[in-house]
């Protein structure tokens, strides 16, 4: 991790055209085919990950631990949205991003995404126990 580079102000983006897979199932085929709120959460996380990507070591990644999002306007299928993340707080491996998501017309969502920088491969005994439980059931 390049600790000097991961400082407040660090920014990342994620842009995508709203497609069928971004529209909730219950709205597909209606005149209200708009991007789903959970997709906006995914977009905000991708923007935050983009901010960190160039500054992590090859054996590091980040995981989301907290999300807060206000979805203020609908974006129709076929319109581009862009998530813009800006690091506002860092405490060792904990990074907090403020994120805004705009479509081609307006601000459609804003929120925060807390992420922790972690090793890609790590010993996680609790997770391994869960995996063993699933394996035993199959």
Give me the CATH number covering residue 130.
3.10.129.10
- Please choose, from the candidates 49, 74, 47, the residue with its C-alpha nearest in 3D space to the C-alpha of residue 60: 49
Q: What is the pLDDT of residue 35?
A: 95
In a domain? residue 79: yes
The pair of three-digit structure tokens given for residue 71, joined into one six-digit string:
């979805």
Strand 11-17: give its sheet, edge to edge: 11-17, 80-91, 94-103, 107-119, 60-71
Global pTM?
0.87
Q: What is the pLDDT of residue 72?
A: 98
Q: What is the pLDDT of residue 67?
A: 97
The pair of three-digit structure tokens given for residue 97, joined into one six-digit string:
């991003």
Q: What is the pLDDT of residue 29?
A: 75
Q: What is the pLDDT of residue 132?
A: 79
Structurally, the chain folds into a number of domains equal to: 1
In a domain? residue 40: yes
In a domain? residue 2: no
In a domain? residue 92: yes
Q: What is the pLDDT of residue 30?
A: 72
Q: What is the pLDDT of residue 34?
A: 87
Q: What is the pLDDT of residue 99?
A: 98
In a domain? residue 91: yes
User: What distance in Å separates the CA atoms of residue 137 and residue 132, rounded to the nearest whole number?
Assistant: 9
In a domain? residue 4: no
Query: 110 and 72 in contact (C-beta within 8 Å)?
Result: yes
Q: What is the pLDDT of residue 49?
A: 97
Residues of the chain under the 70 pLDDT cut: 31, 123
User: What distance in Å separates the CA atoms of residue 30 and residue 38, rounded to the nearest whole number?
Assistant: 19
For residue 82, what are the CA distances in angstroms to 6, 75, 118, 131?
Answer: 22, 11, 26, 36
Residue-number span of the structural domain to which 40 is assigned: 11-137
In a domain? residue 3: no
In a domain? residue 76: yes
Q: What is the pLDDT of residue 100?
A: 98
């Amino acid at each position: 991790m390049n600790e000097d580079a991961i400082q407040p102000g660090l920014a990342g983006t994620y842009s995508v055209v709203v497609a069928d897979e971004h529209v909730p199932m219950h709205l597909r085929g209606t005149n209200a085919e708009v991007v789903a709120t959970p997709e906006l959460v995914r977009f905000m996380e991708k923007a935050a990950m983009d901010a960190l990507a160039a500054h992590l070591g090859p054996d590091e990644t980040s995981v989301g631990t907290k999300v807060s999002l206000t979805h203020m306007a609908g974006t129709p299928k076929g319109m581009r949205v862009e998530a813009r993340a800006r690091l506002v707080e860092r405490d060792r491996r904990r990074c907090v991003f403020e994120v805004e998501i705009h479509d081609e017309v307006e601000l459609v969502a804003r929120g925060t995404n807390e992420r922790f920088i972690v090793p890609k491969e790590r010993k996680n005994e609790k997770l391994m126990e869960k995996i063993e439980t699933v394996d035993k059931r199959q």
